[in-house]
Structure formats: structure tokens, C-alpha cells
Amino acid sequence: MKILVINCGSSSLKYQLINMENEEVISKGTYERIGEKSFLTHKINGEKYVLEHPVNNHKEALDFVIEQLLNKEYPSISNVNEINAIGHRIVHGGSTFKGSVLINEDVIKSIDDISSLAPVHNPCAIIGIRACQEIMPGKPMVAVFDTAFHQTIPEERYTYPIPYKYKDQYKIRKYGFHGTSHYYVSNRISEILNRKDLKVINCHLGQGASICAIQNGKSVETSMGLSPVAGIPMCARSGDLDPSVVTFLMEKENLTSKEMDNILNQESGLYGISGVSRDVRDIEAAAQEGNERAILALKQYKYSVAGFIAKYAMAMQGVDVITFTAGVGENQVGIRADICKYLEYMGVKIDNQRNSVKGEEIKISTDDSKIQVWVIPTNEELVIARDTLRLVNGEE
């Protein structure tokens, strides 16, 4: 069975076409900067094709991706009928979805109903679902939710200190996100070290970013909350704020809730402080040229990540392994090193030579470091494909 996995991020579309007989990736790629200077990186048979093709939205991006899967010069498939099923990453399952489900119209409606909790991502995912229905009608599709992995977080950690009636009435609580990534990385490091009793702090640092404390394979604390805007500052999301900042700005600027939400999700974070870009690579380049606001943005980012790591070490009463994953975590060497400098008091020691790599699975701490530090490239797509295969085959 061949499964196409679609992962629609806020400004990106990742995909993998996987042969589930051997879990071999036939081809994969990432559409970056959707809505800006878009480009697609498509990989097949060890070859990489970087294609500059501006698109305005995820529907246009997916259309172009399918064209590349069918490209006669480097075909992944000869026709779309070779794709047996499609798995979709969905950011927010709210209290409705406790696990992965086969997609039907009721599921799509429920995902849409939850969109107010993930206004950047859930609508993008629905666009991806609708595009697949149009391009490949009748194909079975599965929704895999980022929130599912965090259902094991204790109640005292997911309950917000607001009137309790709102928890019952509106299901307001911490949900957590990037669940498929945190699940994959924690399982992978457990395999590498041949231990199931690990205390792991995984740093998923990408366009969106979250930190997760994982004890014995289960999520016990995470930085994102009711929505993906919470936690550390991200490329364009604010992360945690004094709530009065929101109400103060809404009053002073006469903003609607929708306008304020857009500021928090699209105009804040590293971009808000630096004013440079929503891409960490651009901000790092500006910082190296002496841009003071870019330098400030990166300093706050690294400090915040290190702070959550320290907090989660407390939550688990210790930590065995710190892992870095996702676009920034896997590739930004300097950011990893600077975060770990804050943690030297915990006995963290980084080997600069080991840490010089990008996008590789590697231990970057010294052999005498009290806490091991690893880079583990995430594979959310494989997790989604496995769940898709299971549900399409009618397995529990």
C-alpha cells in the first residue's frame, strides 16, 4: 500500500509518499514560504530538485506537488490511482478527538468547529483535505491529531487557573501540540538507548515550536496550551504573555478579537521583535550583520527554550536526555549551542564538533555530560502513515 501523507503548516506543506510494505519513502518534499517567495524542495531517488514556484495558498501548493509526483522525468507514480490512502496531520482535536479517525463530512465539520482554537492550522488542513477530495475523489483519508499524545498530562498541569465553569462549558484547558513529533522522537531515542524508562525533554523547534516532557514514553507536560500560540516565542507567534498585554492593546488600538488573534499568530514572536522576517535563517543573518533587534529576538528565544527545559526537569524530577528536532532544532547549530550554554549548571556539555552537523541523527553532548543531548530528525509523516494504514485496514 502506498500512502500519501500531507502536513499543512502555517506557511508550509510537507509531504511524503510512503510504500508501507517496507516503510520506504518513495519521494518527499517541503513547500516553504507559502504566500511569499514560495519554493518546493522535492526529493526522489537520492536527488533533490529545488523548484521556485510561487503559490498563494495550500491548494495551489498541493496541485504543484501532485504534478511533481507525476513528473515524467522523475516519476514517483504513473497515475494518482497508485496512491491507496491519504493521511493528514491535524493540529487541534480539542476534546472531540482522542485519537486518529477516518475522515468523513462529520469529521471535517468537527475539525472546522475547532478551528477557533487553531486558526492558522486547522483551516489549512481542511483545504488540504478538500484538495485531495478534488484531485483524488474516493480515496480513504485519515486525520491524525497533534493533541492526542498529550492526553496523559496530569489534570493539575492542564487545568488553567480561571473560573472552573469555563473548563466545563468551553473545554478551556491545555491541550498541547506537535504530538506526532514528540511521540516519534521519544520513541526513537528510546530505541537508540535501549531504554523505556527515560526522562526526555524534546525541543520541537520549527516555524511553530513546543517543548515536551516525556516520562516513560508518555507526555507529562508541554509548552503549548489551548492553542499553538502558547509557550516559547516562535517565528511569528508570541508565546506566553501577561494576559493584560492582550486586553491593553485591544483597548488602546481598538482591535477586534480577530485582529488581536492575527497579531499574536502572524506578527509577533521573533518576527515581531526583529521586524526582519518570519524565517529564523533570515533573522540569524541579520543578527550576524549587527541588527540589534534581531540579536534581541534570538536572545529571548534561546532564554525561553532553556527556561522551559529547566522547568520540565523539575516536573520529572530529573532528565536523562534533551533532544532537538524540527527545522530549527535540526539545522541551526548556533541556536542549539547557545540554548545548552544556559544549562551548563545542570551538567550539560556540548561537543562543538559533534554539534556542527545539520539534519542528522547524532549525539551532540560530550561523553562526560551529565545529560545526553541529541539531534533527532523528526518523522511525523511516518507516524501518520502508520495510523492511516491501521485505520484503513480496520484495525483498532
Catalytic residues: 146
Which region holds residue 157: left if phi is over 0, alpha if psi is between -120 and 50, else beta?
alpha
What the block records as the C-alpha cell of 105 is 463530512
At position 128, the amino acid (one-letter code) is: G
The one-letter amino acid code at 210 reads: S
Contact indicator for 283, 294 with CB cutoff of 8 Å:
yes
Closest of 307, 365, 89, 323 to residue 201, by C-alpha:
323
Residue type present at position 207: Q
Residue type, 346: M
- Answer whether 364's CB lies under 8 Å from 375's CB: yes
Grid coordinates 561523553 are at which residue? 367
Reduced to 3 states (helix: H, G, I; strand: E, B; else coil), residue 344 is: helix
**180: its cell numbers:** 506526532
CA 331, CA 329: separation in Å to the nearest integer?
Answer: 6
* Strands, sheet with 209-215, edge to edge from the N-terminal-most edge strand: 218-222, 209-215, 199-205, 321-325, 372-375, 362-363
- Within 8 A by CB and 6+ apart from 378, the residues are 181, 184, 185, 204, 325, 326, 330
CA distance 315 to 144: 27
CA separation, residue 379 to residues 5, 89, 325, 356, 387 (Å) = 11, 12, 10, 21, 13
Which residues, 6 or more positions from 108, have their beta carbon under 8 angstroms from its beta carbon? 126, 129
How many angstroms separate the Cα of 112 from the Cα of each of 117, 226, 235? 10, 16, 25
